[in-house]
Amino acid sequence: MTKELEGKTALVTGASRGLGVHMALRLARGGALVAVNYASDEAAANETVRLIEKEGGKAFAVQARLGSEVAARELADKLDVELTARTGGNRLDILVNNIGGGDYGGIRDTDEAMYDQMFDNNVKGPFFLTRALYERLNDFGRVINISSTGARLTDPSIIVYTMAKTAVEAFTRVLALELGKRGITVNSVAPGFTAGPTNDYIVNDPVSAKQVTDITALNRFGQPEEIADVVYFLASSAGRWVTAQHIEASGGFRL
């Protein structure tokens, strides 16, 4: 596999589980030194690092429970130490804002704590982390925000999640204009229903699985590697002329 990202540094937030693991692996296979961010599961983050190193890649784990300005600054400071020890400087080439997620809940079921949690994870976390790393991002670098197919749906049971992911897409477009003068591209990737631990309860239930695949143009669930490939495309030189875009990788869910 071509090591096109050799010499590049990358941070993937929420890379101890789910899609984040595969994004970190894909960037490392491309040659990047990957910072594997995790909130609390150190063992899982170390497993991601182990998988990368097993393939000959380079990575390290860095802890921060993102969702506040303080946490973002703490992560930036930790990155300074780790990157300087490995590269001689604190510069970052690729930032993947992957943390997010949320619970089901309609407008009558969602209390303030649940609302705040979803906006903290999906909007506040990426915003303040990008702000904290603003000066550390190399010119001609990449910012990739992970959104969701849910951003375009009108499902009352995910109203807050839809609002939050729509905000991510607006953040992406505005930031792309600001960072464009430095040659930095900013894009968002929106996965649909993807196989993996988060969706096992659907994938492994024949009735639920059929309901999903029946309304997916490609008639199957996505694979985590397929989302990671889109992220890699945007991080690579192939994505150099793509910015301010929202790329849905859903196999055509609910067209």
Cα–Cα distances (Å) from 15 to 23, 46, 49, in that order, read 8, 10, 10
The phi-psi region of residue 22 (left if phi > 0; otherwise alpha if psi is between -120 and 50; otherwise beta) is alpha
What are phi and psi for residue 189, nearest 5 degrees? -120, 130
Which residues are known to be catalytic? 161
Nearest-angstrom CA–CA distance, 187 and 246: 6
Chain segment 92-128, per-residue pLDDT in tens: 999 999 999 889 999 999 999 999 999 999 999 999 9
> For the chain, which residues make up each domain, given as ranges?
9-249
CA 211/CA 216 separation, integer angstroms: 9
pLDDT, block means (10 residues), the chain with 255 residues: 91 97 98 98 98 98 98 98 98 98 94 97 98 98 98 96 98 98 98 92 94 97 98 98 98 96
Q: Is 194 helix (H, G, I), strand (E, B) or coil?
A: strand
| pLDDT, tens only, 169-206 | 999 999 999 999 999 999 999 999 999 988 999 999 99
Task: Please tell us whether the domain made up of 9-249 is placed in CATH 3.40.50.720.
Answer: yes
Is the full-model pTM beyond 0.85? Answer: yes
Best CA proximity match to 32, nearest among 72, 73, 60, 54: 60
